[in-house]
Amino acid sequence: MIDFDSDICGNFESSTAREWLETNGIGGYASSTISGAHSRRYHGLLVAATRPPLGRMVLLSKFEATLVINGERFELSSNRYPGSVHPEGYRFLKQFRLDPFPIWTYHVNGIEIENSIFMIYGENSTVCQWKIKNRSVISALKFEIELKPLIAFRDHHHLKHENAEFDGGYNAEENLVSVSPHTEMPTLYFAHNARSIERQGQWYRNFEYAIEQERGFDFREDLFQPFSLRFDLTTDARVIASTERRLIADVETYETAEIERRKELVKISGAKDGFSSRLVLAADQFIVSRGSGKTVIAGYHWFSDWGRDTMIALNGLTLATNRPEIAKSILIEFGKHISEGMLPNRFPDAGETPEYNTVDATLWYFEAIRAYVEKTGDYDLLREVLFEKLIDIIDWHIRGTRYQIHVNTDGLLYAGEPGVQLTWMDAKIGDWVVTPRTGKAVEIQALWYNALCVTAEFAKRFGDGERQKIYLSMAAAAKASFNGQFWNEHEDCLYDVVNGGERDASIRPNQIFAVSLTHTMLDPEKGRKVVEKVEAELLTPVGLRSQSRHDPHYASIYIGSPLERDAAYHQGTVWGWLMGPFVDAYLKVNSKDAATDARVAQIISSFKLHLTYAMAGQVSEIFDADPPYAPRGCAAQAWSVAELLRLNSKY
């Protein structure tokens, strides 16, 4: 359980800096801050995936909640407006915990009231409950709560502003209210056990979202309040906000089912402590349905499912949690979308047509399959479905595919052309590719060599000696060329990119993959020197810097306008997911002894405190490159969680 006391909860800045997240397994989510004041455009109590796992829309932004005790009103909500915070409900907030879902405890004039929120798995439904905890002590008092829903009905990337086209009406039935402001959007249903409904029909204007302002975006929003619900708190107040018609009488059944589902995930995983258990639950939030299969949301709140992120995260999210059936589904689902020997880079929110502009996602597919087969021994799936796909991918890379991705005459893999970004360092501002890395990038060679060796092993398993020989020969050629072209004698490490006679000597983390992957082209001594260089120049308590501090282009802070942030994204900014390959590489080049074990344990445990600093129970995408390593970017990132889980289960 993650728990915050009144020192955090009663401080507006501290409680607003910490977020929470609930997800529904189909791409939808509910999220806000502990204080209840939204700080992002993406915050809302029901952000529905209208085309699972995408098409996400903020339908219900929040409830304005007022506790009424013998006629006296106490506002429990918090909002940031221009120049003020109103109401100041956080002052009554004494505790917030994840147990297992978000629960707030307010103390008002000796009264203890608890608010909880969870989503129903598999559908766009959020359940909100309010209950008096110490009713028996104060039974003579009359308790009511008034809830005013504030609705947005907009794409989650945009903001709502008051407009005349917004239909503010509602339909009321017994224990059910529905609103449908725009005909092209879903109807939102409120199942409830309220005593009465009162028509309101007004706009709340100028909510301010601090993180959007910090990020250089539009940060003010208007929300509409169609009605209010009034509950007699002799029983718990309950609301199900949903795109489906739901019965309020089923709340306890939904709650029990969700608690048991999460308990089962932890049990199956074999989690050995509270830290591991929390990571297992964090991992589950990224696994969502796509068609008949599964995929991975790369990060909350704004990322969709990305091929690269999915393949990198697959091991930690599914295999390390003992859910190989999910891994199998993901591998099959992405296999359906292979085109010209390439895996999709991402599935955009705006449509179903995948984008094929990545060189590494496809190569990570080989490593994901290798890890899956090693975990499960499922050679039937490999033989019947996946092996031919891997052969086809290699064939396409030999003859050449999009963006000049092809095997060069030296056996190494070339990729890139002007105006495109193909590696994971993919920031682009207009036509400016910040880190183009055109040519032969170091981690692409490591992944290519690994892919050839993995496929050669599979060929041997299936008695395909001819292909085994071909792939091993290609791997040997790549290894010889790599060692001849990439070793930087001056720095005792690897060049980042080789392109003809040009060699990029930037000290970046990409070279760690030449040591960390299952199959490596480096001898032990060179591997040790790479790890030492990365440790000395790039290692922080929360991941690896994307650029050395000594580089003239080094950017230590990821903040400001989109231009400023993207310019710093891979120029120093720390990436948490890179801790995984660093530990793998560190263990390869160091003796297995108590000192090494202690060092690895220290590296992993450095993230424990972070679970209480940004998104409660989650791991951020990136961090500033210098102390105090402030968390930035997505507050919950799949590969950050996945690599921690993989390390924690393995070491």
296 Cα distance to chain centroid: 9
pLDDT at 348 over 80: no
pLDDT at 349 over 80: no
DSSP-derived secondary structure for 231-253 = EETTS-EEEEEESS---GGGHHH
Q: What is the token pair recorded at 301?
A: 């709140």
| Pairwise CA distance, residues 623 & 139, whole Å | 50
pLDDT at 1: 84
DSSP-derived secondary structure for 19-47 = EEEEE-SSS-EEEEETTS---STT-EEEE
- Percentages helix, strand, coil for the chain (3-state, rounded to 5) are 35, 30, 35
636 Cα distance to chain centroid: 4
Q: Which of 486, 345, 359 is nearest to 414 (CA)?
A: 359
Which residues neighbour 63 within 8 Å (Cβ) at sequence distance 6 or greater? Answer: 45, 77, 128, 147, 148, 149, 150, 239
Relative to beta strand 171-173, strand 143-155 is unpaired
pLDDT at 138: 67
pLDDT at 91: 98
Q: Are 566 and 429 in contact (CB under 8 A)?
A: yes
**Which regions of 426-518 does DSSP assign to beta strands (E)?**
428-429, 432-433, 440-441, 487-488, 493-494, 497-499, 502-504
Q: Are 79 and 86 in contact (CB under 8 A)?
A: yes
- Residue 480: how many CA atoms within 13 Å on its side-chain side? 9
pTM equals: 0.96
Lowest mean pLDDT among 252-256, 424-428, 508-512: 424-428
pLDDT tens for each residue of 437-489: 999 999 999 999 999 999 999 999 999 999 999 999 999 999 999 999 999 99
pLDDT tens for each residue of 550-595: 999 999 999 999 999 999 999 999 999 999 999 999 999 999 999 9
pLDDT tens for each residue of 382-414: 999 999 999 999 999 999 999 999 999 999 999
Q: How confident is the model at residue 135 (pLDDT cuts 50, 70, 90)?
A: confident
The single-letter code of the amino acid at 344 is P
| Pairwise CA distance, residues 444 & 242, whole Å | 45
**Which regions of 243-378 does DSSP assign to beta strands (E)?**
287-290, 293-296, 299-300
Number of other CB atoms surrounding residue 139 within 10 Å: 9
| Pairwise CA distance, residues 239 & 173, whole Å | 14
pLDDT at 137: 67
How confident is the model over 208-237, as a mean pLDDT?
96
CA torsion sign, 372 to 374 to 378 to 383? positive
Q: Are 512 and 585 in contact (CB under 8 A)?
A: yes
pLDDT at 350: 65
The single-letter code of the amino acid at 366 is F
pLDDT tens for each residue of 353-388: 889 999 999 999 999 999 999 999 999 999 999 999
Angstrom distances, CA of residue 470 to CA of 18, 182, 209, 362: 54, 59, 57, 20
Coil, strand or helix at 499:
strand
Q: Are 533 and 517 in contact (CB under 8 A)?
A: no
pLDDT tens for each residue of 41-76: 999 999 999 999 999 999 999 999 999 999 999 999
- For residue 468, what is the enclosing H or E element? helix 465-486
Q: Which residues pair with 432 in a beta bridge?
A: 429
Domains for the chain: give ranges and CATH numbers. Answer: 2-258 (2.70.98), 270-650 (1.50.10.10)
Q: Are 440 and 413 in contact (CB under 8 A)?
A: yes
pLDDT tens for each residue of 334-343: 999 999 999 9
| Pairwise CA distance, residues 184 & 499, whole Å | 50
| Pairwise CA distance, residues 330 & 366, whole Å | 13
How confident is the model over 92-113, as a mean pLDDT?
96
Percent of the chain with pLDDT over 90: 94
Residue 26, φ and ψ in degrees, nearest 5: -130, 15
Give the burial class of 210: count Cβ atoms within 10 A of its Cβ; 0-12 exposed, 13-18 middle, 19 or more buried.
middle
Q: Which of 350, 510, 307 is nearest to 425 (CA)?
A: 510
17 Cα distance to chain centroid: 18
| Pairwise CA distance, residues 49 & 58, whole Å | 9
Q: Are 24 and 125 in contact (CB under 8 A)?
A: yes
Percent of the chain with pLDDT over 70: 99
Q: Are 345 and 360 in contact (CB under 8 A)?
A: no
pLDDT at 197 over 80: yes
- For residue 394, what is the enclosing H or E element? helix 387-399
Q: How confident is the model at residue 141 (pLDDT cuts 50, 70, 90)?
A: confident
How confident is the model over 143-169, as a mean pLDDT?
96
Coil, strand or helix at 450:
helix
| Pairwise CA distance, residues 460 & 372, whole Å | 18
Coil, strand or helix at 531:
helix
600 Cα distance to chain centroid: 24
pLDDT at 651 over 90: no
Q: Which of 381, 395, 391 is nearest to 454 (CA)?
A: 391
pLDDT tens for each residue of 285-328: 999 999 899 999 999 999 999 999 999 999 999 999 999 999 99
- For residue 326, what is the enclosing H or E element? helix 324-335
